[in-house]
Structure 1
Amino acid sequence: MKKGHLPAAAAGLILLTSNAAWPDPVEPVHAIDPNTGSHSWTLRTQGISLTLAQILPDQVRGFYAARGFPPDAIEHLAARHCVFQTILRNESDTGAIRFDLADWRVRTPAGVRPLKLVREWLPEWERYGVPESGRLAFRWALFPTEHTYELGDWNMGMTTYALPLGTRFDLRVVYWRDRHRRSLVLPGVRCATEAEPAAR
């Protein structure tokens, strides 16, 4: 057996285990911004409120052009990645929640993959020649990679996904409460396209 390769049976077992770890999804509330056409999905379950709202490619371009990003760096983000405004609230009355985005997973028909985190982005921005001020602005705009929310706490920021524009996916959110690992699934999210028609 070649180094780094798994037998087909073992690879199938890993895939089966990965799929089995996903809990049943809860139907989210879907909304469309009448001015921009941006779609959002909000899920309330297990004492957590989670919203993913599309950030349209042209919105990404405008935001980062104003922060000194070179044009090719802007296109790398806006045209080759999905970007969402992400809002998470601890609405529970049973204690704090702790999370690490490295545990979250995206599922598409092509398979399961992690989110793209700041530790992957920063070396890329250095290669693209993004100035330090721009890299700092990008870092602060992102949703925190790790955090603990006490009762009533909430936060918002961007999450990014190395997926083609228009891709549909399910998001598995993993978090800890009372030393217990828990998870929930936000299903049916869709990456923005270049021109989202405004709702009428």
Structure 2
Amino acid sequence: MLLPARKIIACLLFCAAVAALAAETRHATDPETGIETWETTAHGVSLRLTQILPDQVRGFYQARGFDAASVERLATGACVFQTVLRNDSAPGTIEFSLADWRSVSAGGERPLKLEADWQKEWGQRGVPLAARTAFRYALYPTQHRYEVGDWNMGMTTYALPLGSRFDLRFVWSEGDKRREVMLSGVRCAAETSP
């Protein structure tokens, strides 16, 4: 039985969309620390996530003036990753907003926990302004534009339990063209042993 042309075209378009999302994810584990990294490259843009352990979060933010309860909220109430995004060779300028990115897991899709969300919580907790400013500069920019060769690094946070597995759908635009790619099999750091 022959399929009508429009069904064939619809199937081809669906397959092309799935292929566009499915970029190869490379995974590495540091043999000394056990810290894991995931990286992918597509359309001239690369993204790398590296686990930040809860103890690393504690040490970093306690040294910047956060009270112990607020540090614990961040260290155990979210997954924290060092994030590096590069425009290696995408034509022209790329633009992104972390508000468009989603973690995808068995529990469904979730937005990232953005700097503005944390700042609201830190204000309610009475975290000092100097500590909140340090927090802002340590996080990955919520929105930005990159020319070819531009890149940045900072922390991104995900409202998922420690040890969770997820895929990250990251999104950017090149002019009028929207790009989406999946970084697959990412795992939140687990609590370290005492």
- 2:169 matches 1:175: no
8 Å CA contact retained: 1:79, 1:165: yes
Amino acid across the alignment from 2:159: A
Aligned-pair CA distance for 1:59 = 0.1
Whole-Å separation in 1 of the counterparts to 2:19 and 2:64? 38
Aligned-pair CA distance for 1:27 = 2.6
Aligned-pair CA distance for 1:133 = 0.4
8 Å CA contact retained: 1:33, 1:39: yes
Describe the shift of the 1:52–1:62 C-alpha distance in structure 2 as closer, same or farther (beyond 3 A): same
Amino acid across the alignment from 1:97: I
Partner of 1:45: 42
Partner of 1:14: none
Amino acid across the alignment from 2:71: I
Q: Show structure 2 runs of 5+ residues with no match.
A: 1-16
Runs of 4+ displaced beyond 3 Å:
20-24
Partner of 1:58: 55
Question: After the TM superposition, which residues 134-145 of structure 1 pair with which residues of structure 2 at under 5 Å, given as runs?
Answer: 134-145=131-142
More divergent stretch after superposition (56-65 vs 175-184): 175-184
Which of 12, 32, 35 is 2:32 aligned to?
35
Q: Show structure 1 runs of 5+ residues with no match.
A: 1-19
SS at match of 2:140: coil
Which of 157, 161, 166 is 1:160 aligned to?
157
SS at match of 2:40: strand
Aligned-pair CA distance for 1:130 = 1.0
Percent identity reads: 57
Describe the shift of the 1:94–1:109 C-alpha distance in structure 2 as closer, same or farther (beyond 3 A): same
Describe the shift of the 1:163–1:30 C-alpha distance in structure 2 as closer, same or farther (beyond 3 A): same
Describe the shift of the 1:97–1:33 C-alpha distance in structure 2 as closer, same or farther (beyond 3 A): same
Partner of 1:131: 128
Query: How high is the TM-score relative to the length of structure 2?
Result: 0.87
Partner of 1:4: none
Query: How high is the TM-score relative to the length of structure 1?
Result: 0.84
Partner of 1:86: 83
8 Å CA contact retained: 1:70, 1:128: no
Partner of 2:146: 149
Whole-Å separation in 1 of the counterparts to 2:75 and 2:24? 28
* Aligned residue pairs, count: 177
8 Å CA contact retained: 2:83, 2:153: yes
SS at match of 1:50: strand
Whole-Å separation in 2 of the counterparts to 1:177 and 1:27? 21
Partner of 1:185: 182
Aligned-pair CA distance for 1:35 = 2.9
Partner of 1:109: 106
